Structure 1
C-alpha cells in the first residue's frame, strides 16, 4: 500500500482509501517556475503509482495565473493531462483528496498534503526572470546550497563511479514558456530524471551541468534497454519487483526506485531479458521513455 507523509501532521498516511475509491489529486502551482514544474511532476508520479496499485485517480490543476502555460509545460514533461472540471470527481464518488503543493499546509480542504521542496535554477544570469508574486516579491527559491545527494549516497542522481560521461551538444530550442529558461526544457526527460533523483522533500539546485549528467545517464540506460531487447525475454524477478514497489510505496521514494534499476543494470547474475522487462515495468511509473531506442541500429 502506498503511504505518503502528510505535511499537516508529519505522519505517514495511506494515499488511497481501503475501499479503493476514487482519489482526487490536486496540484497547486503559484506561477510558472521550476518549483511549479516539480509540483506538477509529483502529482503525476502520485497518480501513476496509485493507478499501478489499482486505485482510480482524478488530477486537477489549481493555479492563480499562467494556467494554460503550466498545462503546456506539463505536456512537455510527459505529465498526464489535468482534468478541467474540479467538481466532477465528487459526482463520481470521490473517497479522498490529496493536495500537492510547495506552499505551507494551510488553507487546504480535507485530505493529506504532499509538500514539495523548492527548485532553484542556477543556469546563469538573465536566463530566468523570476515571476513577481502578488506582493511584488520574487518567486520563492531554494536555499542556494548544493542539491542534496550530490557527491555520494542515496538520492544523488549520479556520483563517483556511477556517474555517466557528460553528453554535450544539447542546444536550447524555442520554447512556449517565456518565464522558464530555454535550456531547462531543452531535454524534458533529462529534467524529469534530474528531479526524480532527489528526494521530494529536499531542495534541488539545477544547472546545465546537472541536466547534462542526467542526459548522459538517460542515454546510457536507453542504449542498454535497446541491447537487452535483442535477447530472449524473461520475467521481472519477484525480488526485484518487490524492491521497486517497496520503494515507490514508501512516500514515493523515486531515488530508491532508481537505485534498484542501477542494481539491476549491474547484476551479473540477471539475464538481459529480465533486465529489459524490469526497466520497462519501472518506466510505467518513471515515464522516461526508456524503450525509445528499440530497433535503432547499433
Structure 2
C-alpha cells in the first residue's frame, strides 16, 4: 500500500466531526502542506459519503454536499435555494463559492417540492438538529431523499451522526435506501459504533406524505432495534466482560479498601 493510499484510508474513515483533527494530525506527522491537495479525492469521498454541510455566501443555512446533488467538477446544487456552488474539498475552510442560479428541470417538480416540505416536518419531529435534501436523479426516473443529523460533544469525548438516503421511483412506487449510524466515543479508550441497514419498501400511494410515512416507519423500526441491541449488550456481552461480584460473592466496600487485609478480609479467610 502506498503512502497516499494509507493516508486516504484515514481521511475516508474519519469519525463524524473529526476530519479536521485527523487532517491536522497527518500534517503534523508529515510536516507537509501539500498533503491537502494530494489527498483531495479522499476528502471528496469522505465529504460526499458523510453528507457534509456548507453555508452558502450570505446565508446562515447549511446545504448538503452529496453524490446525489453533484454536478461534477466540484460543483453541487441545492433544490430549495435553486442555486449551484463550488466546493473546495482540499481546503479545511470547507466553504462554498461561485454561487450561480440553478433551476432543476424535472417532470416531478411538484412532487420534489412536496417531499421537501414533508421530509422537513419529519426531521423536525424526530431529530434535534438535522438537514435534508431532495434531488431528482440525472435521468429523472427517481428522486433522492437525504437526511443527516449530527451531534458533537468533543468536550465529553464523543461525536455521532445519523445518515439516511433513499431513492424513490414514482413509476413503481418503490423506495430503496440505507440508514447509517456512526458514533465515536474516545474517553480513556476508543470505541466506535458503525452500523447500517438497507431499506426496501413498496409505497401504498403516490403522495409525498405516503413516501415520508414509509421512511418514518423504517427509521422508527431501526431505532427500536438499536435500542434493543444496546439493552442486550448491557445485560449480555458487556456484563460477561467482568464479574458482578468477587469469587466470594461478597461486595467490596470500596470506602474501606485501604483498611482491608488482602486475603483475609476480602477472601474471608484466617491468618
TM-score (norm 2): 0.29
Between Structure 1 and Structure 2, the one with more strand by share is 2
Greater gyration radius: 2
